[in-house]
Amino acid sequence: MKDNILWANKAWTDTFEKVKSTSEEMSVNFPAMTTNGIYSDTDRPWGWVVGFWPGLLWLLYEKESYSTFKDMAIDRELIMDGPLDEFVNIHHDVGFMWQLTSIKHYDLLGNEESKTRALRAASHLASRFNINGRFLTAWNKNDVNSADPKGLSIIDSMMNLPILYWAAEQLDAPRFKLIAMAHADTVLKEFIREDGSVRHMVEFDCFSGKVKQYHGGQGYNQDSAWSRGASWAVHGFALSYQHTKEDRYLEAAMRTADFFIEHLAEDSVPYWDFRAPITPETPRDTSAGACAASGLLVLAELAPTPELRERYFLAANNILHNLYKNYGTYNDNTNQGILVGGTFNYPKGLGINCSLIYGDYYFVEGLYRLKNKLESM
Ligand code: GLY
């Protein structure tokens, strides 16, 4: 087993060196996606992606003690106080934003202000719970034009639940955990299909709580299987099981993981939608591969039998290794991303075959988890 993952030590060192040089040349605070290899800034200071770059810097700082990365991450966290104080534009993705920044800062350095920021973000997320539909509401008025956001929920929400589990523990306030679990139960019922494929968006009647409509969202259509949505489910249910030990979340994580693994392309990296027609031009989404692989490493610690733990571990290791070998930019110092081959929003023609900051983040998180595994052997 150990020999299979030694590659991750070199990948980690290559990544550290790459990020040292890109962080010096990059002129933006919150890289989102690349055009011709150059990262542009997020288009909205309250956008869901702002936590990933500081989160990536924290992961590297934790193992390398390179203080420039810590300082850069803290600078970004302070800028993020703008949208947190302004409040009206923040949304369901506050877990992505403050989990990877403020909670990490608090965990590593005990900064009390960071803890308060994350508790405020968690309180906002809890307030988005629709009591009749038992789901966390996505977005705000005017954020989306395809459906009425008052009754909309999306699979991405599963990755935001850990900030609620964390707040429940910090404040000894089970209400946060109960909201997270009520939402996870609704996702399990309405988003996860019997075969393990996953819906992106479900629109509920915000008063009765009944399902009104399924939307294709960023996927090919409403019956398809958008691969990043699948990765949010695999990783998110694994984390919900880690925090609650409720078997139904473990079963959901394994069912969605099995679908994901069985539908990977021949190079172990997913196409952007598992049910899109495949032609030689069909793009991959390396961010889906990276996010799922990092989640599979969580699942590999939790699955009930040695065979299943090995299955998920080997799948994760294989995806990450293929991303490193075939999609890494280590020999291309004109590309500021770590991975190419990401797809942001295929139906809208946005961000296709580029680097995406969340793809880079989850790839580094996957390597970080492999490093932890190596260190424990
Ligand atoms: N959370 C939006 C996306 O996955 O693109």
Residue showing tokens 């590297």: 60
CB 121 within 8 A of CB 97: yes
CA–CA dist 149, 356 (Å, integer): 25
Which residue among 228, 350, 361 is best mutated to probe the pocket of ligand 1, counting the most ligand atoms within 8 A of its Cβ?
Answer: 228
CA–CA dist 202, 192 (Å, integer): 11
Tokens of 234: 């695999």
| φ/ψ of residue 280, rounded to 5 | -60, -20
How far, in Å, from the CA of 3 to the mean position of ligand 1? 35
Which residue among 218, 286, 348, 354 is best mutated to probe the pocket of ligand 1, counting the most ligand atoms within 8 A of its Cβ?
Answer: 218
Which residue among 358, 360, 361, 362 is best mutated to probe the pocket of ligand 1, counting the most ligand atoms within 8 A of its Cβ?
Answer: 358
Pick the atom of ligand 1 nearest to 344's CA. 5
DSSP class of residue 220? S
Whole-angstrom CA distances from 342 to 82, 234, 280, 358, 364 are: 29, 18, 16, 9, 15
* Residue ranges lining ligand 1, Cβ < 6 Å: 48, 156, 218, 228
CA–CA dist 133, 31 (Å, integer): 35
How far, in Å, from the CA of 281 to the mean position of ligand 1? 22
Relative to beta strand 38-41, strand 129-130 is unpaired
How far, in Å, from the CA of 13 to the mean position of ligand 1? 28
Q: pLDDT tens per residue, the chain (377 residues)?
A: 888 999 999 999 999 999 999 999 998 999 999 999 999 999 888 999 999 999 999 999 999 999 999 999 999 999 999 999 999 999 999 999 999 999 999 999 999 999 999 999 999 999 999 999 999 999 998 787 666 789 999 999 999 999 999 999 999 999 999 999 999 999 999 999 999 999 999 999 999 999 999 999 999 999 999 999 999 999 999 999 999 999 999 999 999 999 999 999 999 999 999 999 999 999 999 999 999 999 999 999 999 999 999 999 999 999 999 999 999 999 999 999 999 999 999 999 999 999 999 999 999 999 999 999 999 99
Architecture of domain 2-376: Alpha/alpha barrel (1.50)
Domain ranges for the chain, please list them.
2-376
CA–CA dist 162, 235 (Å, integer): 11
Residue showing tokens 């939608």: 273
Handedness of CA 324, 376, 51, 218 (dihedral sign): positive
CA–CA dist 8, 195 (Å, integer): 32
DSSP class of residue 34? E
Q: Which helix (H) or strand (E) holds 125?
A: helix 112-126
